[in-house]
Amino acid sequence: MDSESQFRNNALKGIAYYSYAARIFAYLIGLAVVITVLGVSDDGYHKIPIAMPFLFIVCLAWPHIAYQWAKRSNVTTKVVTSSLLFDAFFTGLWVPLMSFELIPSTVFITAVMMNNISTGGLKLFLHGFIAMILAIILSSLLINPSFQFESNILVILVCIPMITIYPMVLATINYKLTRLLIFQKGKLLQLSRNDSLTGVFSRRYWEQRLLGEFNRCKRSGEKTCVMMVDIDNFKNINDTYGHLVGDNVLRQLGSILQGLRNSDIAGRYGGEEFAILLPNSDLEESLLVAERLRQKIEHTKFEKVDRCTISIGIAPLSAQFSNAYKWLDQADKALYQAKANGRNRVCSELSQIED
């Protein structure tokens, strides 16, 4: 599953989780309202053989079924939507049985439509409304209901929890879902910015930073350098120890690169090659940073690898570069020179530091 799909799936599972208690509350209060309405009514709909058992079974069992269904499903979108449509349909069945009493019917319809629009927007609101109308028509055809718009004071009292408490429960759920959304979007942003194996920035995001740094420093005249880093003989590491060990080397190197100066911007450029921006650093300072990095890698113990070294090419920003990629290409040429000169060294167009 890709990161965007995972994000959507997690958000919907969050809806199912936070809606669980609210659905239990709504169905229990709804059960009490329907029983009260039928109890004070003279229509006798409660004497229909299947009506009351069906009411009790659904109200007591359905919230748990809906939650487990969403929790275990791999198509959470469909499950959450279907559950809300069932809520709307089930509510519609009972409006005619309550003789269309204005207050309880309005309370039920409003609660269901609030759920739908807060979860799925206008589209789910319309689908839920259609499901409810179909249920009202079906129920009306089966029982030929009477119409009694006025409500007994007892019915009004039983409706009060649904009128007062349920909107606050729904507001609490929306607050928690907003926090979940912010958290999930943060994770999604991190996934889009960072390389999943090494933890440094991905090539796409790092190149955005390269372009931004190039333009900023061109305007301000600030000193800055770009550095290309390549693991020496990395293919031999993979061939000798296997790709899992090679991945661990990349992961450990990524961790070291994240520990550079706070201002430095490291990214994985491809395979075993990394790129680092060194803002507010002239060539002399950048060479020192590069040499410290080279020595640290040389003396770091990597899993199952006796010795791991890197070659580094550095290019300072100058007026000769018409775009950021020509600047980066200069660092790549310096890296090539470091490798040609025997690897495990730092090179620039002006200087060379050897092991």
Q: What is the spatial distance between Cα 230 and Cα 233, in angstroms, rounded to a whole number?
A: 9
Residue found by looking up tokens 């275990």 in the block: 72
Q: What is the spatial distance between Cα 169 and Cα 192, in angstroms, rounded to a whole number?
A: 34
* pLDDT above 70 (res 2): no
Q: Which domains does the chain have, with CATH numbers?
A: 3-192 (no CATH), 203-353 (3.30.70.270)
Q: Could you tell me how far CA 314 lies from the centroid of its own chain?
A: 37
* pLDDT above 50 (res 355): no
Per-residue tokens: 68 = 């487990």
Q: Running DSSP on this structure, what letter comes out for residue 260? A: S
Burial of 291: CB neighbours in 10 Å, binned 0-12, 13-18, 19+: middle
- Residue 99: which of 62, 139, 59 has the closest Cα? 139
Q: Which residues of 189-207 are buried (b: 16+ CB within 10 A; e: fewer)?
A: eebebbbeebbbbbbebbb
Q: What is the spatial distance between Cα 247 and Cα 280, in angstroms, rounded to a whole number?
A: 32
Cα distance between the two ends of the chain: 45
- Residue 45: which of 131, 123, 144, 135 has the closest Cα? 144
Q: Which residues of 304-342 are buried (b: 16+ CB within 10 A; e: fewer)?
A: ebeebebbbbbbbbeeebeebeebbebbbbbbebbbeee
Q: What is the average pLDDT value for the chain, to the nearest integer?
A: 87
Q: What is the pLDDT of residue 352?
A: 45
- Cβ neighbors of 233 (< 8 A, separation 6 or more) are 343
pLDDT band (50, 70, 90) for residue 177:
confident
- % of the chain with per-residue pLDDT over 70: 90
Q: What is the spatial distance between Cα 281 and Cα 213, in angstroms, rounded to a whole number?
A: 12
Q: What is the spatial distance between Cα 73 and Cα 62, in angstroms, rounded to a whole number?
A: 16
Q: What is the DSSP string of 266-329?
A: EEEEETTEEEEEEET--HHHHHHHHHHHHHHHHTPPBTTBS---EEEEEEE--TT-SSHHHHHH
pTM of the shown model = 0.56
Task: Give residue-wise pLDDT tens across range 38-97.
Answer: 888 776 665 677 888 888 999 999 999 988 888 888 777 788 889 999 999 999 999 998
- C-alpha torsion sign, points 321, 325, 328, 332: negative
pLDDT band (50, 70, 90) for residue 353:
very low
Q: What is the spatial distance between Cα 71 and Cα 65, in angstroms, rounded to a whole number?
A: 10
Vertex 196 angle, CA 194 and 202, to 5°: 35
Least confident window among 150-164, 188-202, 311-325: 188-202
Query: Under a CB-based contact definition with an 8 Å cutoff, are residues 25 and 169 in contact?
Result: yes
Task: Give residue-wise pLDDT tens across range 116-138.
Answer: 888 788 999 999 999 999 999 99
Q: What is the pLDDT of residue 188?
A: 67
Burial of 157: CB neighbours in 10 Å, binned 0-12, 13-18, 19+: exposed
Phi, psi values for residue 101, rounded to 5°: -55, 130
Per-residue tokens: 84 = 């809300």
* pLDDT above 50 (res 304): yes
Q: What is the spatial distance between Cα 338 and Cα 349, in angstroms, rounded to a whole number?
A: 11
Q: What is the pLDDT of residue 44?
A: 63
Q: What is the spatial distance between Cα 15 and Cα 36, in angstroms, rounded to a whole number?
A: 31
Q: What is the pLDDT of residue 149?
A: 82
With H, G, I as helix, E, B as strand and everything else as coil, classify residue 4. Answer: helix
pLDDT band (50, 70, 90) for residue 278:
very high
Task: Give residue-wise pLDDT tens across range 280-291.
Answer: 999 999 999 999
